């Protein structure tokens, strides 16, 4: 496997020092096509210890290292140079997730993102007395949750959504609405009607215009657009199936 060299254009902003953001250039050689972007950031940090970014598990599970690379959101730990189709001598732009306030360099403030996530009430709610045994589901009922529960809250989807950029305080965004769909579809939850009513305004749900940016960037290959569409169908039809 032949090695390659590349120039990295990295977004930098330190509010304690900088009046405005700027890009800083770094060069690395001896890279392999299967080198992950997180490993590259760690190499850059060896060159420049002041570079700030989030990372944790390194396995695409924690969702902490979402970044914006060459115009697309991704997780640095599971995105390789080959995945972004880099060739010898190419310039690679690395920036923070768009649509969120920047704390420093590639680190963004996700306070509003998690506020919207909590607004979706991402937990089972029941009206009947809690049973002494677990709430049971049939295999068919359980299968309805596939593609809804796997979200790792990396925020790549919401950061790719223009409606979320424009109305982050009103539109819940694809990640939160995926969680809403997960509990609306759950046969054990007894607050479906209340969940639908809480979403029934001009902004929380219906600011989704089905452009599918969220589905295109999801590192877990989920489809928030489809889930949002099912919520709309249930709300407009008045059906609870």
Confidence of residue 1 (pLDDT cuts 50, 70, 90): low
Count of the separate structural domains present in the chain: 2
For the stretch 143-158, pLDDT in tens is 999 999 999 999 999 9
Please check the confidence at residue 2 and state whether its pLDDT lies above 80: no
- 122 and 233 belong to one structural domain: yes
Residues 224 and 120 in one domain: yes
Domain CATH code at residue 11: 3.10.20.30
Q: Say what the pLDDT of residue 70 is.
A: 96
* Same domain (yes/no): 132, 194: yes
pLDDT of res. 225:
97
129 and 221 housed in the same domain: yes
Task: Tell me, yes or no, whether 117 and 193 share the same domain.
Answer: yes
Statement to judge: residues 145 and 94 lie in one domain:
no
Q: Are 33 and 4 in contact (CB under 8 A)?
A: yes
11 and 93 assigned to the same domain: yes
3-state secondary structure of 225: helix
Radius of gyration of the chain (CA): 20
Of 86, 108, 130, the residue at which a domain comes to its end is 108
pLDDT given at position 66: 98
**Which pairs from 21-26 meet CB under 8 Å and 24+ separation?**
21/102, 23/93, 24/48
In this structure, are 91 and 138 located in the same domain? no
Same domain, 76 and 144: no
Same-domain pairing of 93 and 121: no
Last residue of a domain, one of 74, 108, 142: 108
Of the candidates 108, 142, 161, which is a domain's last residue? 108
pLDDT value at residue 87: 81
- Given a cut of 70, whether residue 241 has pLDDT beyond it is no
pLDDT in tens, 55-92: 999 999 999 999 999 999 999 999 999 999 888 878 99
Mean pLDDT across the stretch 115-137?
Answer: 91
> Which range marks the domain in which residue 154 is found?
111-237
> Are 172 and 103 in a shared domain?
no
CATH of the domain at 121: 1.10.1060.10
Residue 240 pLDDT greater than 70, yes or no: no
Pairing of β 66-69 and β 107-108 = unpaired
Q: Do 93 and 155 contact (CB within 8 A), yes or no? A: no
Whether residues 104 and 119 share a domain: the answer is no
End-to-end CA gap in the chain: 53
Contacts of 150 (CB under 8 A, 6+ apart): 220, 222
């Amino acid at each position: 496997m032949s090695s390659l060299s590349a120039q990295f254009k990295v977004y930098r902003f330190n509010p304690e020092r900088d009046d405005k953001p700027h890009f800083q250039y770094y060069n690395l050689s001896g890279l392999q096509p299967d080198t992950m972007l997180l490993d590259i950031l760690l190499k850059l940090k060896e060159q420049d210890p002041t570079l700030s970014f989030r990372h944790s598990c390194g396995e695409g599970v924690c969702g902490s290292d979402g970044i914006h690379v060459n115009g697309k959101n991704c997780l640095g730990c599971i995105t390789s140079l080959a995945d972004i189709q880099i060739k010898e001598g190419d310039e690679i732009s690395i920036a923070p997730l768009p649509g969120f306030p920047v704390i420093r360099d590639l680190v963004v403030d996700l306070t509003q993102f998690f506020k919207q996530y909590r607004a979706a009430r991402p937990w089972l709610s029941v009206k009947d007395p809690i049973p002494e045994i677990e709430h049971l589901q049939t295999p068919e009922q359980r299968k309805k949750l596939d593609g809804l529960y796997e979200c790792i809250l990396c925020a790549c989807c919401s950061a790719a959504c223009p409606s979320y950029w424009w109305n982050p305080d009103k539109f819940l965004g694809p990640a939160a609405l995926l969680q809403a769909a997960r509990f609306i579809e759950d046969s054990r939850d007894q607050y479906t009607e209340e969940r639908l009513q809480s979403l029934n305004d001009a902004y929380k749900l219906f600011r989704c215009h089905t452009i599918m940016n969220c589905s295109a960037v999801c590192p877990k290959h989920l489809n928030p657009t489809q889930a949002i569409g099912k919520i709309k169908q249930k709300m407009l039809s008045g059906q609870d199936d």
